[in-house]
Amino acid sequence: MWAAPGRVNIIGEHTDYNGGYALPIALPHTVTCAADTTADGLARVTSRQRPDERIEIPVAGLADAKMPAWARYPFGVVHEYLRRGHSISGVTLALDGAVPVGAGLSSSAALECAVAVALRDLFALPVTDAELIDIARTAENNYVGVPTGTLDQSASILCTAGHALFLDFGADQHAQVPFDLAAAGLELLVVDTNTPHRLADGGYGDRRAECDQAATMLGVASLSDITDLAALDKLDDPVLRRRARHIVTENDRALTVVDMLRRAGDPRDIGPVLIAGHASLRDDFEISTPQLDAAVEVALTAGAYGARMVGGGFGGSIIAITDTDRTRLAVDAIENRFRASGFAAPRTFVAVPSAGARRMT
């Protein structure tokens, strides 16, 4: 039995496919994968969340087999191992997901990574962590069909308890940064606005294309090569200029937060940086929603030091840094506002930086 976690990103959104920086933590919520080898040439998958389905496909036919959408995540990983020349005779996978789905908390990456580590260990496949991340990401890009970067899979594989993970996508490097809110009397509140986002719906891919277009027009390999905002004046299109401005300022915010945490100052000080990050995602990247904006605004009014939407956008979750003894106040205030606005009831929990993908038994 293997487990891999979902994530929330403290700062650094949409920077991964732009060669920039991010700072996720792993959630305590995981997807588990009980797995066993078989010699019958079949790949089988069941899920506790799909009790009536059992999908069985010959390993040799995975490349173009038809299957329900959810099965493409686990089988995409099997297929990607095969495509890279690794040998998988047959396998049975039994999944159980506890990461909220469609909440911007990387349930997809958790699933992919649980299967990826299970297959690596079961078949003693010689793959590094970097390859695991790439296998899981490629499965999502090519088999599921969502053009994500590697933020979520990197977090799910590499995060450690008690730390945020500093990711430098341009240099392909990472580092563990101690992240202990509890010691400062603080909590990281996660509010799932219960407005499912679907990255496959196109908004995510549009943003990615806009960033690529802006980089091409500016003559740089990636927008993260730019640190001086004045360089963006060369972009005539105001939309592309806003998209690029988000990436440039978000990278700066990520580096600022990492620096603050490394200096081990008061974590309350990162609050204003998170608030600025939300404004940038809302106004420049334009991927927020009325629910996300309301949750952030109410959390701040209720005394949070910082709050922002997280993940791919167009729905999903926010985070807020609150005094431990005021978290309940913030939750009540957000629930009241959602009720009054006729929004779906939000789901809330407190996140602690948890362990990355691992073998359980």
Catalytic residues, which ones? 152
Q: What is the DSSP string of 211-236?
A: HHHHHHHHT-SSGGG---GGGGGG--
Which residue type occupies 8?
V
- What six digits make up the tokens of 260? 């603050």
Binding of ligand GLA at residue 246 (CB under 6 A)?
no
Give residues 105-124 in contact with ligand GLA (rule: CB under 6 A). Answer: 106
* Residue placing its CB nearer to ligand GLA in the complex, 133 or 334: 133
- What six digits make up the tokens of 326? 């005021």
User: Which range in 50-58, 87-95, 145-153, 238-246 contacts ligand GLA by CB under 6 A?
Assistant: 145-153
* Residue placing its CB nearer to ligand GLA in the complex, 16 or 168: 16
CB 19 within 8 A of CB 225: yes
CB 4 within 8 A of CB 356: yes
* Residue placing its CB nearer to ligand GLA in the complex, 57 or 140: 140
Binding of ligand GLA at residue 151 (CB under 6 A)?
yes
Binding of ligand GLA at residue 316 (CB under 6 A)?
no
Give residues 11-30 in contact with ligand GLA (rule: CB under 6 A). Answer: 13-14, 16-17
What is the size of the binding site for ligand GLA (CB under 6 A)? 12
Binding of ligand GLA at residue 311 (CB under 6 A)?
yes
User: Which range in 6-14, 43-51, 56-64, 332-340 contacts ligand GLA by CB under 6 A?
Assistant: 6-14
* Residue placing its CB nearer to ligand GLA in the complex, 103 or 298: 103
Region at 27 (left for phi over 0; alpha for psi -120 to 50; beta for the rest)? beta
- What six digits make up the tokens of 78? 């099997």
Q: How far is CA 106 from CA 17, 270, 357, in A?
A: 16, 23, 13
Among 148, 156, 288, 317, binds ligand GLA (CB under 6 A): 148
Binding of ligand GLA at residue 197 (CB under 6 A)?
no
Cα–Cα distance measured from residue 138 to residue 134, given in angstroms and rounded to the nearest whole number: 6
* Residue placing its CB nearer to ligand GLA in the complex, 16 or 284: 16
User: What are φ and ψ of residue 37, in 5° steps?
Assistant: -80, 150
User: What are φ and ψ of residue 26, in 5° steps?
Assistant: -85, 145
Q: How far is CA 355 from CA 62, 64, 76, 113, 294, in A?
A: 31, 35, 24, 13, 31
Q: Which residues contact 214 (CB under 8 A, 6 or more apart)?
A: 223, 235, 240, 241, 243, 244
Considering the complex, what minimum distance in angstroms separates the CB of residue 294 from ligand GLA?
21
Binding of ligand GLA at residue 280 (CB under 6 A)?
no
Among 74, 312, 346, 353, binds ligand GLA (CB under 6 A): 312
* Residue placing its CB nearer to ligand GLA in the complex, 106 or 288: 106
User: Which range in 7-15, 86-94, 188-196, 294-302 contacts ligand GLA by CB under 6 A?
Assistant: 7-15
Q: Which residues contact 206 (CB under 8 A, 6 or more apart)?
A: none
Which residue type occupies 258?
V
Binding of ligand GLA at residue 138 (CB under 6 A)?
no
Considering the complex, what minimum distance in angstroms separates the CB of residue 311 from ligand GLA?
5
User: What are φ and ψ of residue 197, in 5° steps?
Assistant: -100, 150
Binding site for ligand GLA (CB under 6 A): 9, 13-14, 16-17, 106, 148-149, 151-152, 311-312
